[in-house]
Structure formats: structure tokens, C-alpha cells
């Protein structure tokens, strides 16, 4: 999978991994922070969530214009990393109000806009060399793994910092307390719920408990500080990305050139596309962008309604076996064990690699069993943000499988075209949310749950959400890295940065939709909400296949 690629790909891989670790650390706790700190409703928090994602994914359009016409890719990327560091630093400051948070989010979005599309354009330039052009799709799959390795560790980092800060304040995490505390302070909590809150408070404070008002203020302030610490982790990760990108510049320097810069430096006239070719390619890009809007609107429910489902409708404590995949101390050894066994038994693996694989597997088994013994046989708490670790780790482990399947199909002349893969990804997205339709049967609506307060009395197994995340992961592998590769191949040379920004612009509109369908969550039955996503993604798939021939012609023009 890694063989034959230019070294510049791996510089981009690790630079992107650090940036995405920071971003997904922030995103894992963002909705929870707004609701815990300020007591916002799902609708209000979802609106801010939608605007944040819209900014993060729309501003690459501006970043592409800047790189294509002014600064070039490398300088624009560097400035973006620095601006993101400032934004996360502002968000990490405790005791700040809503306006200050909006400013911090705007800065983060601005920095991401300068960074994301231009790094992808830089990777695409590496594969304009005929020596590497056949590896373009594979390269973006590898690049995409970097995103998801960073994203995998992000929820655990956010959770670890949150729990550490709460412990320093003599508290532990309880997902029911923030909502009850805000309602109590606003004098809208009924007597039974006040009694429940007092039970929680006494369990948290012990003999130090005095009154509910003081406890509510203490808990809200403490959990706000705990989430601030998670944002600080995101700021530190930007420094790591900056160091990597600067230190290993020599490996991508030759590809850090825009079409405008190339024309200025070249003594030989550069062959340009005809007006018809440019038009066909732009239309193809626009049609693909339209389809992927609906994918991202559905997919980015992971940080919104799926996180709320994890909090309010999913069991918060699991047995010893299930707890293995929710704790890094046991989950990482499992992953290393699998990787070691793959290396050990891989066809054509050298004797040296087999020894390394065997030792890694044995060591992981011993370490994993040691930490497994420390888990509670019946009751191990899990937090809602931890569900977001499954998508990235599924990406990491399923990417080689998907690449292998595509390689096998290509060898036999049956590999689907890039647009066809995107259409298949939309169908798989619908299947993922169909699982949630089934999981929602018989559950209380969010509106009724809000009226009653607290968490649903009927709770679902975490495997419903895990199954959904797995299906959405396969859909993502068919759609996102393939779509990015499609853009890098089809984009007219003079607007490569802008075209990658267009991909993120489409993502931005989808993300805006992800937040703005929040009101349906508050008004509809759960199954109706998820069925809406099934219907939209199926319609998008049908549209994608109806224009398939046109897209394939543009790819080859």
C-alpha cells in the first residue's frame, strides 16, 4: 500500500494527522461543551455547530484563491497552521463568554480554510509526475488514513483531559448533571428531578456538600474548564504539524508550485486545456459537489445527533468484554495484536517481518490481558464522545482492505470509475442510517424526553451505533478520498487550489445542513429523523448514477 509513493506524501500525511487530531479533539467535545457550559438546547447548539462546520469547509475556497493567485501552496498552508493555533488557544481560555467563543471559532475556520484544500492540492501535484500518476487514488487513500489516525486518538485525549480536570476539582463525569444543573439554576426543574440532582450532588461531594446552588455552579464551571483543557490539546497539536511541515520541506518543495508560478518560470509555453474541456470539467466538478453535499449532511451527524443518541439513548455502562473497545489501554493492544497477526501470516512476508509481527502480537496479548483484568466484570462507564473514535479506526483498518479490493478489480478490468464509487458510497450511507431507523423503534422522541428531563428509560446497546459507524466508514472510503482524487485529476490546472476549495465548499453546505436539520430532531420521532437521511442519500445515489456517463467522459477529457 505504501510502496512506490514519493516521500512528500508522508510529510503531508503526518502534517495532516497532527492538524486533524487537534480538530477532532475539539469537535468531539464541542456540542457537549456548549450544552454543559451554557445549557443550550439541541437546536441552538446545532445551529452553532452547523455554522462552525460551514466555515471550516467553506473557507478553503478563499484559501484556494489566495494560493492560486498570491502566496502559493506552502506559504498558505504555514499561515493556516499558525492561525489555527491561535484559534484553539483562544477557545482554551477558561471563563470566556459566548462572543469570545464565536471569535475563536471564526479564527479556527479561517486557519482551516488556508490549510485544508491547499495541502490536498500539494499532494495532487506530487502525482502529476507520470511516474506516480497511476497511484493517485491509492495516494489519497493513504493521505486519508493520516486524517483518521489523528481523529482516532482525539476522543480519548478529550475525555482524558476532561476527567483529569474534573478530578482536580473533586468531581467525576456524569452526563445527566449539566442539564439538571442549568434547569435548577433557571428554576424550571421539578421536585423529583431536584431530588435526583441532590443525590448526584451528595455522591459527588460527600460531606463537602452544602447546597444545590453552589454545587450546580461548581459543576458547570468545572466541566467548562475541563473542556477548555481539551481545546488546549488541540492547540498543542498545531505546533507539531508546523514543525513537521517546515522540517521536511525538501521532500515536497518541487511540487509546491501553482500553475501561475509555473507559467512565469517556464521558458517553454505550457499546453492549456481548450475552453470546451475546461467547461466540461467544471460542470463535472459541480455535479459531484452537489451530490457530496448530501453525504456530508448525513455523515456529520456523528458530532451532532449521533452523539446525542449516544448520550441520551445508549447505555452508559458496559460489561468487561464490550469495555475493551472503549478503553485505549485495552483497545490499542487489540489493534496491535491484529496488526501483528496480519504481518506474521501475510503472504510473502519476510522472516524478519514475521518475527516482528509475532513479537508484537505476543506483547500486545500480554499487555491487553493485563489491562483487561483491571476492568469491572459488569459495570464500566462509557462516555458519549468515545463513539467518535470508531469511524477513524475503522478507516485505518479498512483502507488497506478497500485498496486491495479495488486493486483486484483493476487487475481484472472490473474496477468502478471514481464517480461510480461515489454513487456506491451514497447507497452505503443510506444503509448506515437505516440501522439507526431500526435502533430507534420504540424509543421516546427527543421532544418528550426534553419535557421529562434526563436520559431515556429505555437504552440501546452501543453496538447499534458502532454498526452505523462501521457502515458509514465504508461509505466514506468509497466517497471521500476518491472524490478528492477525482477533483485533483479533473480540476483545470490554473485553479487546482480553488477546485479543492470547491470540494470543501460542497462539504460546507452539507455541514450547514447537518446543523440545520436539528429542529427536526426536536420535533419528530427518532425513526422519522433517521429515515429523512436515508431518503436524501438514496435520492442522491440515483442522481449520481443518472449522470455517470457524463462524469466519466469529463474524467478522461
Rounded Cα distance, 548 and 410, in Å: 19
pLDDT exceeds cutoff 60 at 169: yes
Per-residue DSSP letters for 53-64?
HHHHHHTHHHHH
Residues 333-344: pLDDT tens digits?
888 888 888 888
DSSP, res 301: T
3-class secondary-structure state, position 38:
helix
pLDDT exceeds cutoff 60 at 36: yes
* Across 487-502, average pLDDT: 82
Question: Could you tell me if 447 and 350 lie in one domain?
Answer: no
Question: Could you tell me if 445 and 472 lie in one domain?
Answer: yes
Question: Could you tell me if 238 and 156 lie in one domain?
Answer: yes
pLDDT band per the 50, 70, 90 thresholds, residue 416: confident
**178: nearest Cα among 203, 200, 154:** 200
Which of 358, 381, 404 finishes a domain? 381
Question: Could you tell me if 322 and 458 lie in one domain?
Answer: no
Q: Is residue 230 in a domain?
A: yes
pLDDT exceeds cutoff 50 at 85: yes
Question: Could you tell me if 479 and 333 lie in one domain?
Answer: no
Rounded Cα distance, 68 and 72, in Å: 6
The rounded percent of the chain whose pLDDT value lies above 70 is 96
Q: Is residue 518 in a domain?
A: yes
Query: What pLDDT is recorded for position 193?
Result: 87
317, β-bridge pairs:
381
Q: Is residue 105 in a domain?
A: yes
Total domains, the chain:
2
Residues 446-465: pLDDT tens digits?
888 877 766 678 889 999 99
Task: Kindly report the average pLDDT of the chain as a whole number.
Answer: 86
DSSP, res 313: S
Question: Could you tell me if 333 and 394 lie in one domain?
Answer: no
Rounded Cα distance, 287 and 454, in Å: 44
pLDDT exceeds cutoff 70 at 264: no
Q: Which residue has the higher pLDDT, 510 or 373?
A: 373
Question: Could you tell me if 433 and 448 lie in one domain?
Answer: yes
CA distances from 225 to 192, 295, 417, 508 (A): 29, 34, 49, 29
Task: Kindly report the number of other CB atoms within 10 A of residue 241's CB atom.
Answer: 27
Phi-psi map region of 442: left, alpha, beta (phi>0 left; psi -120 to 50 alpha): left
3-class secondary-structure state, position 346:
coil
* Across 56-64, average pLDDT: 86
Q: Is residue 266 in a domain?
A: no
Phi, psi of 347 (to 5 degrees): -65, 130
Residues 206-245: pLDDT tens digits?
888 889 999 999 999 999 889 989 899 999 999 999 999 9
Which of 337, 361, 381 finishes a domain? 381
Query: What pLDDT is recorded for position 453?
Result: 67
Residues 115-130: pLDDT tens digits?
988 898 898 888 887 7
The rounded percent of the chain whose pLDDT value lies above 90 is 28
Query: What pLDDT is recorded for position 269?
Result: 55
**443: nearest Cα among 556, 533, 525:** 525
Question: Could you tell me if 326 and 302 lie in one domain?
Answer: no
Q: Is residue 1 in a domain?
A: no
| CATH number assigned to the domain comprising residue 185 | 1.20.1250.20
Question: Could you tell me if 447 and 363 lie in one domain?
Answer: no
Query: What pLDDT is recorded for position 511?
Result: 74
Query: What pLDDT is recorded for position 114?
Result: 93
Question: Could you tell me if 112 and 56 lie in one domain?
Answer: yes
Query: What pLDDT is recorded for position 268?
Result: 47
Question: Could you tell me if 238 and 150 lie in one domain?
Answer: yes
3-class secondary-structure state, position 63:
helix
* Across 181-210, average pLDDT: 88
Q: Which domain holds residue 305?
A: 7-260+275-316+382-556
* Across 267-273, average pLDDT: 58
* Across 275-295, average pLDDT: 87
Q: What is the chain's alpha carbon radius of gyration, rounded to the nearest angstrom? A: 24
Q: Is residue 265 in a domain?
A: no
Question: Could you tell me if 204 and 227 lie in one domain?
Answer: yes
pLDDT band per the 50, 70, 90 thresholds, residue 553: confident
Q: Is residue 500 in a domain?
A: yes
Task: Kindly report the number of other CB atoms within 10 A of residue 512's CB atom.
Answer: 24
3-class secondary-structure state, position 76:
helix
CA distances from 463 to 290, 293, 400, 435, 455 (A): 32, 27, 24, 11, 18
Q: Which residue has the higher pLDDT, 77 or 331?
A: 77
380, β-bridge pairs:
318
* Cβ(37)–Cβ(24) below 8 Å: no
Q: For residues 543, 549, 555 and 557, what is the CA-based torsion angle, rounded to 10 degrees?
A: -140
3-class secondary-structure state, position 539:
helix
Q: Is residue 267 in a domain?
A: no
Which of 338, 354, 381 finishes a domain? 381
Residues 8-22: pLDDT tens digits?
999 999 999 999 999
Amino acid at each position: 500500500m505504501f510502496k512506490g509513493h514519493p516521500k512528500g506524501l508522508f510529510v503531508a500525511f503526518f502534517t495532516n494527522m497532527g492538524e486533524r487530531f487537534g480538530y477532532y479533539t475539539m469537535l468531539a467535545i464541542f456540542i457537549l461543551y456548549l450544552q454543559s457550559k451554557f445549557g443550550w438546547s439541541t437546536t441552538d447548539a446545532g445551529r452553532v455547530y452547523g455554522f462552525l462546520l460551514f466555515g471550516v469547509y467553506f473557507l478553503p475556497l478563499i484559501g484556494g484563491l489566495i494560493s492560486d493567485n498570491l502566496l502559493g501552496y506552502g506559504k498558505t498552508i504555514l499561515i493556516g497552521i499558525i492561525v489555527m493555533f491561535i484559534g484553539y488557544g483562544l477557545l482554551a481560555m477558561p471563563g470566556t463568554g459566548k462572543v469570545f467563543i464565536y471569535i475563536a471559532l471564526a479564527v479556527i475556520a479561517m486557519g482551516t480554510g488556508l490549510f485544508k484544500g491547499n495541502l490536498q492540492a500539494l499532494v495532487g501535484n506530487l502525482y502529476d509526475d507520470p511516474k506516480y500518476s497511476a497511484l493517485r487514488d491509492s495516494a489519497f487513500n493513504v493521505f486519508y488514513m493520516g486524517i483518521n489516525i489523528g481523529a482516532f486518538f482525539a476522543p480519548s485525549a478529550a475525555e482524558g483531559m476532561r476527567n483529569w480536570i474534573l478530578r482536580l476539582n473533586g468531581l467525576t463525569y456524569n452526563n445527566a448533571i449539566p442539564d439538571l444543573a442549568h434547569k435548577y439554576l433557571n428554576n424550571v426543574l421539578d421536585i423529583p428531578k431536584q431530588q435526583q440532582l441532590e443525590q448526584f450532588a451528595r455522591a459527588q461531594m460527600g460531606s463537602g456538600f452544602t447546597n444545590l446552588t453552589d454545587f450546580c455552579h461548581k459543576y458547570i464551571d468545572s466541566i467548562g474548564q475541563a473542556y477548555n483543557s481539551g481545546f488546549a490539546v488541540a492547540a498543542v497539536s498545531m505546533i507539531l504539524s508546523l514543525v513537521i511541515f517546515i522540517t521536511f520541506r525538501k521532500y515536497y518543495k518541487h511540487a509546491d508550485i501553482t500553475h501561475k508560478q509555473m507559467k512565469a518560470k517556464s521558458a517553454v509555453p505550457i499546453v492549456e486545456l481548450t475552453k470546451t474541456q475546461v467547461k466540461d470539467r467544471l460542470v463535472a466538478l459541480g455535479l459531484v459537489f452537489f451530490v457530496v453535499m448530501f453525504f456530508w449532511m448525513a455523515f456529520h451527524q456523528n458530532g451532532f445527533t449521533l452523539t446525542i443518541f449516544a448520550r441520551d439513548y445508549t447505555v452508559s455502562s458496559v460489561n468487561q468484554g464490550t469495555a475493551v473497545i472503549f478503553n485505549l489501554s485495552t483497545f490499542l493492544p487489540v489493534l496491535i495484536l491484529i496488526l501483528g497477526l496480519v504481518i506474521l501470516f501475510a503472504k510473502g512476508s519476510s522472516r524478519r517481518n514475521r518475527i516482528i509481527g509475532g513479537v508484537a502480537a505476543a506483547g500486545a496479548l500480554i499487555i491487553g490481558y493485563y489491562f483487561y483484568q483491571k476492568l469491572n466484570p459488569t459495570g464500566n462507564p462509557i462516555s458519549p464522545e468515545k463513539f467518535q473514535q470508531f469511524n477513524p479506526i475503522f478507516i485505518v483498518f479498512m483502507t488497506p482492505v478497500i485498496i486491495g479490493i479495488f486493486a483486484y478489480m483493476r487487475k481484472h478490468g472490473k474496477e468502478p470509475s471514481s464517480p461510480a464509487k461515489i454513487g456506491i458510497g451514497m447507497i452505503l450511507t443510506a444503509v448506515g442510517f437505516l440501522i439507526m431507523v431500526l435502533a430507534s423503534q420504540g424509543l421516546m422522541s427527543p421532544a418528550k424526553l426534553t419535557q421529562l428531563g434526563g436520559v431515556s428509560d429505555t437504552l440501546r446497546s452501543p453496538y447499534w451505533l458502532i454498526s452505523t459507524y462501521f457502515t458509514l466508514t465504508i461509505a466514506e472510503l468509497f466517497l471521500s478520498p476518491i472524490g478528492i482524487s477525482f477533483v485533483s485529476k479533473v480540476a483545470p490546472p490554473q485553479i487546482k487550489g480553488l477546485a479543492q476549495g470547491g470540494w470543501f465548499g460542497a462539504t460546507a453546505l452539507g455541514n450547514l445542513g447537518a446543523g440545520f436539520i436539528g429542529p427536526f430532531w426536536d420535533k419528530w420521532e427518532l425513526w422519522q429523523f433517521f429515515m429523512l437521511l436515508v431518503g436524501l442519500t438514496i435520492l442522491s445515489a440515483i442522481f449520481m448514477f443518472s449522470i455517470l456517463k457524463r462524469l466519466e467522459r469529463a474524467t478522461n477529457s
